[in-house]
Homo-oligomer: A and B are copies of this chain.
């Protein structure tokens, strides 16, 4: 961890090692010379740093760079630096309303292991859900270790408010969780050699893509917490936004509003590449922006919130579909009816797009972002949502200059899980000294 009793020299070395790793991460395979040019450091200084990272197993060399290619010096072929795909890895987990998912990402950013479990989280007992999640985490950690990867951190995406700087879910209405600290139930998850199986996981149709491992882990709670992975808990919209920023920087700029439409509607505000968290950690509650102030009563206590028009339940009901059954089936039905031109479905999607446009118009007028990114489950309905959404935005945000770009997320519903895993592995890039072999 940065700064624990660090001397200025060690701090400088840590910072420069981190800069080298980030430069390689951003450029892809590249020469020492390209790194030096990017960072404005001498080639000698970069060579020393690179040697340390090679020895420590965070960088490796591959093949040769083509003459003049990949940012190398003119005409001189050499080996290319790449981040390791062994050694440390990050574990990301997602607590969804109808599923749990976990994956492991290596420093190169590749997903190397994953598991998913259909699991009804509505009005659920946190203890039951978190025990299931722990099993999945242990399973993915075991898979990762079999690939010579070593988990260094676990990040969990939750569909609710997380108090800033804590692991406490303050409010997740769609799970029915209030003031739930998830650290205890996950203490020690992912640290053992073999997965625990503290709970009998309910494995349904969606659970086919992972291996079933059932050996019980024999460690005591004390031993578990002694080697506990550092745990990060964050709102799913925040982690989804970071995934867009980190994984789709070609389309997504560093100032944007990310809408994450799932059962609830969340958003995240990214300013100069940093998340706006808000005083309590609750920024981004787009779902509770008033759209029609005298509209239907919302669970939040307000009236006519965006969620009452564009939230999943409101949308399915307006389209005449059941909102309390399996989500996948309902969304598939919704997509099929929309594709065949069903009027009621199209009207429901247009009303949702209108409400999104009204709420986003207010957001754009307040924040003047460079882009609005539409992510989450609703991204797949963009074709039918966008005409109304764009009309409202256009009519209600008529400021001069280039208006914000509207980007449809390429990650969709995967965003929060990938964001969590990347947030976990980026600690290696940010603080390499703690993770050298």
User: Chain A interface (Cβ within 8 Å of chain B)?
Assistant: 161, 163, 170-171, 179, 255, 267, 269, 271, 276-286, 288-293, 300-303, 305, 358-359, 361-363, 365-370, 392, 395-402, 404
Contacts and interface: CB of A to CB of B under 8 A. Distances in A.
Nearest to A281: B368
A271 B367 CA distance: 12
A399 B290 contact: no
When A and B form their complex, which 5 residue pairs have the shortest distance between CB atoms, in order from nearest?
A278-B368, A302-B396, A289-B362, A285-B365, A301-B398
A291 B293 contact: yes
A400 B292 CA distance: 24
A58 B134 CA distance: 62
Nearest to A305: B396
19 contacts: A170-B399, A171-B399, A269-B366, A279-B369, A282-B399, A282-B401, A283-B368, A285-B365, A285-B366, A286-B365, A288-B396, A289-B362, A290-B396, A292-B292, A292-B293, A301-B396, A301-B398, A302-B397, A366-B367
Given A288-B365, A289-B362, 10 more contacts: A278-B367, A280-B400, A286-B365, A288-B396, A290-B396, A292-B292, A293-B392, A300-B398, A302-B398, A366-B367
Contact of A278 (B279, B305, B362, B369): B369
A388 to B, nearest CB: 12
B358 A290 contact: yes
Contact of A276 (B284, B288, B367, B396): B367
A362 B359 contact: yes
A281 B367 CA distance: 9
Contacts of A291: 290, 293
Contact of A279 (B359, B368, B396): B368
Given A291-B293, A358-B293, A362-B289, A302 B395 contact: yes
A267 B366 CA distance: 8
A369 B282 CA distance: 9
A293 B291 CA distance: 7
A368 B282 contact: yes
Nearest to A398: B301
Contacts of A368: 277-283, 285
A246 to B, nearest CB: 20
A208 to B, nearest CB: 39
A170 B293 CA distance: 32
A366 to B, nearest CB: 6
B367 A290 contact: no
A54 B161 CA distance: 52
Given A269-B367, A395-B302, A361 B278 contact: no
A396 B289 CA distance: 8
Contacts of A362: 289-290, 359, 362
A193 B301 CA distance: 62
Contacts of A301: 395-396, 398
Contacts of A280: 368, 399-402
A270 to B, nearest CB: 12
Contacts of A285: 365-366, 368, 399
Contacts of A170: 399-401
A271 B271 CA distance: 11
Contacts of A358: 290, 293
